[in-house]
Structure 1
Amino acid sequence: MSGPSFSHDLRQRQTQSLVLAPQLRQSLKILQVAALDLRSVIQEELQANPTLEELPMEGESVEKPAETDAPNDTSTPGEHEDVAPPGDDSPTRDELDFTKQFEILGKIDEDWRDHFANVGGAQPFTAEDAEKRQHFFDSLVSETSLQEHLMQQVVLNDLAPPVHEALHQLIGNLDDRGYLAQSPSDIALQANLPYATVTEALKLLQSFDPPGIGSQTLADCLLAQLHAKGRGDTLAARMLRDHFELLSRRRIPELSRKLGVAADDVQAAIEEIGKLDPAPGRRFAEDSNRVVVPDVVVEKEGDEWKIHLNSDYIPRLRLSSTYRELIAKGTLSKEERDYLRERMRSGKFLIDSIEQRQRTIERITREIINAQLPFFEHGVSQLRPLTMTQIADVVGVHETTVSRAIANKYMKTPHGVFEFKYFFTTGYQAESGDSVSNTSVKEMLADLIALEDKSAPLSDQEIVAKLQEKGITLARRTVAKYREELGILPSNLRRDYK
């Protein structure tokens, strides 16, 4: 019997792949991050690029930049000829499409003396300024994440390496609520760990703070919290352990009969369960204590809607005249000259990208206002269906550019602060012929339930009929889905028995 045979051969294969240049990745990042986060991105570049200078922060409008001929002008990026090329204020399709623009980036005039002729003189950055900025960054605090909180407890235990690794895997598989997103067997299989080791680690994880962490079901989570309080043998624990389905449907008479206790005792146990936390991991949510700073403020002035871009947190940059003069003197070696030119090219690209970001966001905001004018005039009930493709076609950019430009950004309107993506929603055709967004439909549904008779709450089918009277035709399962998304209980759990 002959053994297996092996052979080697050389083959040529042609494939296509997309490789993003560092500058392109940087521009996409600048476009995508919110104004509050953009500052840290720019600070990184300031640390790495000596040819960039940060100007004093002033509340100047990006929409209407101040005009000045002063050599030490502290205007926003785009006001100098060396920062943004002069021309028509309305960008062309190619100028606004980041993908197309990046293909032609990197071209720069070899005559640096003329290119930087209009750059203002360098402004001193004093030790006091540095101290103030450092104090600002030292004052910023970040909330401890759920994973960090749990890992702090892991290090307090003397664990065997396999159990330690299993705990890492389990913690990494927790969702925002603190529940396991996968079964222990799946985690063991994916991590190539023994199942017994994973279950041992899971038992340890479930003993950590907060109680209920690492559970796989709501019943287990709530039961774990009762055990942590020393109430694992109470009526509430029995209901969770043995009759959770009846409990979730609030069948008090049936629970009373099956458990052999009075209905008042069942009601008291339900109230005790109601004080437990169904999602113990949510208190560590990343954005649970984060202040939302709108990137754009939309206000009505007279008959016109005005757009104000938030530039308060965006450092204003320019290229240093000191390095321009060094290049102009011609005393540098070729390596030094090439290095400074490359750094200046990179700095100019950053300044252009920031200006391009602001222009793109402004144009997209303007078109959102045009498309959702009834919302801005009258409120959420008038929100219309809108897709990113529609905005991209009007603005003259690719749909992915719109997607990146609105990511992680908020708009302040007369009706509140909303995520940009809030304005993009599917919808329905009403009997009147008007388009109605699903957000507006949810608003109608919530209003109907808010006004219902609590002793006889509306069923999903009755809500369907009510919406039909308003010209909105929906299936009962769609109403149920919207109700659940709004966090509203079914009619049998909304009934007030008092």
Structure 2
Amino acid sequence: MAMMPRMELRQGQSLVMTPQLLQAIKLLQLSHLELQNFVEGELERNPLLERDDAADVPPHANGGDGPLAADADSFARAESLNSQDGMETRLGTALDNVFQGEQPTVARLDTHGADSLPVIGGAYGGSGGSFEEGPEGFESSLTAEASLHDHLGAQLDLAITDLAERIIGQHLIDAVDDSGYLGEPVGEIAERLGITSARVERVLAVIQGFDPSGVAARDVCECLSIQLRDRNRFDPAMQALVSNLHLVAKRDFAALKRICGVDDEDIADMVAEIRRLDPKPGRAFGGSTAETVVPDVFIRAAPDGSWLVDLNPDTLPRVLINQTYHARVSRAARNDVEKAFIAECLQTANWLTRSLEQRARTILKVASEIVRQQDGFFAHGVEHLRPLNLKTVADAIGMHESTVSRVTSNKYLTCSRGVFEMKYFFSAAIAATGYGEAHSAEAVRFRIKQMIDDEKPAEVLSDDAIVSKLKDGGIDIARRTVAKYRESLRIPSSMERRREKVAMAAGGR
């Protein structure tokens, strides 16, 4: 049969991912802080959007001055200055069919059913209230805690007068993390500045003499060595001990005595002195501000035994479309370009308000199903956590697994047992012995930790013993799985635990 070109007419269906739809999907997985920043950007770009209550939304922070930016060229300029003694969518229809006619922000879940009550409270507003302050506010009177970088920078100004070496020192200080360790290799800093590593090492040696003792070390061994030198206690025996910290962690004192060449009394004194040192010298200073986890969903127990699932209004930015301003600027439009711009702004504003509402409904729907599936956890604790996967929740609420995955990313819920990430409730299944119901991997991990916490010094459980006890409790699990769960809990092996408990018992006597 001869091959020849021809025309055919075919009919088919496909999903077109418009930019608005892609943005709406991305909106689902944003945390509430990322969502606030995104909405702030839209408010700045779109003149038709306005914030419903400005007091509820914190001002957009663009951050302060960045770290000292100096490359090889700026370093060369500093060298020359030093030599001269100078000092210079809208949401697409693909998501529309999920929530037809729904409006709740509070869902009431029965332990035996899935009925919901009417709406309780407002929809997507924030809490009101504000402080009446002067033009500056009380924040202007607050003082920031001195940071480690500021503390080291002040010492650098006094210790080094050479401008080029001061720039090297500033780069080294910028590379020090909140714990006080140098977080960047010396070679990379030298390459960025276009100098030798030896010159950076010389400046680093000066900074390592700053307060607090042990700062700018590259590892814990160097950090402890610096502190011991400052105390004039870094003799050969102590040097050998610091070089074998892994044996100290294992409490293998017999090997340590042999390596250091000391007796029982000396090794006990040396280990006690090591414990008096500070392995994180930077923690005494104010580091970066820790962000408090703000839950997106509140879970409350009702008097009748059901659960109330309520969205946190503080995590839901509320924006409105100024229709009056739109009508006024539409009448004043003089050409097609201005009319097109106004139409685009209106379309974007409609898309954003609709997407925010859709996002809130989706979070509520997924959270309600999680509470329904994990009712035993909320009522009785982690031991009653059930195996759960994304597909189970997605099928129950008529959504796709990828949508559930996005919704549960960076979202938290709070209940009487604490604050939990939504993904915490999705756990693999561990088979039960016989024909019993499968167990959650998280619940099994909790039981392993309980067993180890309750063990006695003379009866330390091996992984095989834990497997046997779990099988007696109806959990069919392999030894390698127990070892994996134990390591994920940062629990040492049975041999290390036994050695530690014996040492603690000897110390108690």
Q: TM-score range by the shorter chain?
A: 0.5 to 0.7
Aligned residue type for 1:438: A
- Specify the SS of the correspondent of 1:292: coil
Whole-Å Cα distance in 2 between the matches of residues 337 and 140 of structure 1?
Answer: 48
Aligned residue type for 2:505: Y
Cross-structure match for 1:391: 393
Task: State how 1:177-196 maps to structure 2 within 5 Å.
Answer: 196=198
Structure 2 CA distance for partners of 1:383 and 1:281, relative to 1, 3 Å: farther
Cross-structure match for 2:41: 44
CA deviation profile, 1:67-113 (whole Å, cap 9, x unmatched) = xxxxxxxxxxxxxxxxx99983359xxxxxxxxxxxxxxxxxxxxxx
Structure 2 CA distance for partners of 1:466 and 1:203, relative to 1, 3 Å: farther
> Is residue 236–residue 272 contact of structure 1 (8 Å, CA) maintained in 2?
no
Q: Say which of 308, 311, 316 aligns to 1:309.
A: 311
Structure 2 CA distance for partners of 1:237 and 1:51, relative to 1, 3 Å: same
- Specify the SS of the correspondent of 1:270: helix
Deviation at 1:359, TM superposition (A): 1.1
Structure 2 CA distance for partners of 1:255 and 1:197, relative to 1, 3 Å: same
Give aligned pairs, total. Answer: 417
Do structure 1's residue 89 and structure 2's residue 83 form an aligned pair?
A: no
Aligned residue type for 1:493: E
Do structure 1's residue 493 and structure 2's residue 505 form an aligned pair?
A: no
Aligned residue type for 1:431: T
> Is residue 35–residue 311 contact of structure 1 (8 Å, CA) maintained in 2?
no
Do structure 1's residue 424 and structure 2's residue 432 form an aligned pair?
A: no
- Specify the SS of the correspondent of 1:312: helix
> Is residue 178–residue 282 contact of structure 2 (8 Å, CA) maintained in 1?
yes
Cross-structure match for 2:253: 252
Cross-structure match for 2:366: 364
Cross-structure match for 1:462: 465
**More displaced stretch, 243-252 vs 388-397:** 388-397
> Is residue 165–residue 203 contact of structure 2 (8 Å, CA) maintained in 1?
no
Aligned residue type for 2:100: D
Whole-Å Cα distance in 1 between the matches of residues 254 and 318 of structure 2?
Answer: 68
**More displaced stretch, 224-233 vs 207-216:** 207-216
Task: State how 1:221-236 maps to structure 2 within 5 Å.
Answer: 221-228=223-230, 230-233=232-235, 236=238
Whole-Å Cα distance in 2 between the matches of residues 38 and 143 of structure 1?
Answer: 29
Structure 2 CA distance for partners of 1:202 and 1:361, relative to 1, 3 Å: farther
> Is residue 163–residue 200 contact of structure 1 (8 Å, CA) maintained in 2?
no
Cross-structure match for 2:453: 450
CA deviation profile, 1:300-326 (whole Å, cap 9, x unmatched) = 222322211111243322111331331
CA deviation profile, 1:266-309 (whole Å, cap 9, x unmatched) = 23332332344445567889887332211111122223222111
Structure 2 CA distance for partners of 1:261 and 1:86, relative to 1, 3 Å: closer
Structure 2 CA distance for partners of 1:315 and 1:259, relative to 1, 3 Å: closer
Cross-structure match for 2:77: none
> Is residue 246–residue 255 contact of structure 1 (8 Å, CA) maintained in 2?
yes
Aligned residue type for 1:294: P
- Specify the SS of the correspondent of 2:427: coil
Structure 2 CA distance for partners of 1:287 and 1:260, relative to 1, 3 Å: same
Q: Say which of 18, 28, 39 aligns to 1:31.
A: 28
> Is residue 163–residue 198 contact of structure 1 (8 Å, CA) maintained in 2?
no
Deviation at 1:365, TM superposition (A): 0.9
Structure 2 CA distance for partners of 1:399 and 1:315, relative to 1, 3 Å: same
Cross-structure match for 2:320: 318
| Structure 1 unmatched ranges of 5 or more | 1-18, 60-83, 92-127
Structure 2 CA distance for partners of 1:85 and 1:443, relative to 1, 3 Å: closer
Task: State how 1:37-76 maps to structure 2 within 5 Å.
Answer: 37-56=34-53
Deviation at 1:443, TM superposition (A): 1.0
Whole-Å Cα distance in 2 between the matches of residues 176 and 480 of structure 1?
Answer: 33
- Specify the SS of the correspondent of 2:314: coil
Deviation at 1:170, TM superposition (A): 10
Cross-structure match for 2:274: 273
> Is residue 364–residue 391 contact of structure 1 (8 Å, CA) maintained in 2?
yes
Cross-structure match for 2:59: none
Aligned residue type for 1:51: L
Deviation at 1:250, TM superposition (A): 0.9
**More displaced stretch, 292-301 vs 133-142:** 133-142
Whole-Å Cα distance in 2 between the matches of residues 216 and 435 of structure 1?
Answer: 47
Deviation at 1:429, TM superposition (A): 0.9
> Is residue 150–residue 208 contact of structure 1 (8 Å, CA) maintained in 2?
yes
Whole-Å Cα distance in 2 between the matches of residues 187 and 454 of structure 1?
Answer: 49
Cross-structure match for 1:67: none
Task: State how 1:120-139 maps to structure 2 within 5 Å.
Answer: 135=137
Cross-structure match for 1:437: 440
> Is residue 181–residue 215 contact of structure 2 (8 Å, CA) maintained in 1?
yes
Cross-structure match for 2:6: none
Cross-structure match for 1:70: none
> Is residue 167–residue 198 contact of structure 1 (8 Å, CA) maintained in 2?
no
Q: Say which of 382, 396, 399 aligns to 1:380.
A: 382
Task: State how 1:284-363 maps to structure 2 within 5 Å.
Answer: 289-301=290-302, 302-327=304-329, 330-334=331-335, 335-363=337-365
Aligned residue type for 1:340: I
Structure 2 CA distance for partners of 1:287 and 1:27, relative to 1, 3 Å: farther
TM-score by length of 2: 0.65
Deviation at 1:445, TM superposition (A): 1.5
Q: Superposition RMSD on alpha carbons, in Å?
A: 4.6
Whole-Å Cα distance in 2 between the matches of residues 419 and 470 of structure 1?
Answer: 28
Cross-structure match for 2:108: none
Cross-structure match for 2:115: none
Structure 2 CA distance for partners of 1:387 and 1:192, relative to 1, 3 Å: farther
CA deviation profile, 1:338-368 (whole Å, cap 9, x unmatched) = 3333222222222112112111111111222
> Is residue 295–residue 411 contact of structure 1 (8 Å, CA) maintained in 2?
yes
Aligned residue type for 2:428: T
Structure 2 CA distance for partners of 1:153 and 1:368, relative to 1, 3 Å: farther
> Is residue 162–residue 193 contact of structure 1 (8 Å, CA) maintained in 2?
no
> Is residue 455–residue 497 contact of structure 1 (8 Å, CA) maintained in 2?
no
> Is residue 169–residue 207 contact of structure 2 (8 Å, CA) maintained in 1?
no
- Specify the SS of the correspondent of 1:497: helix
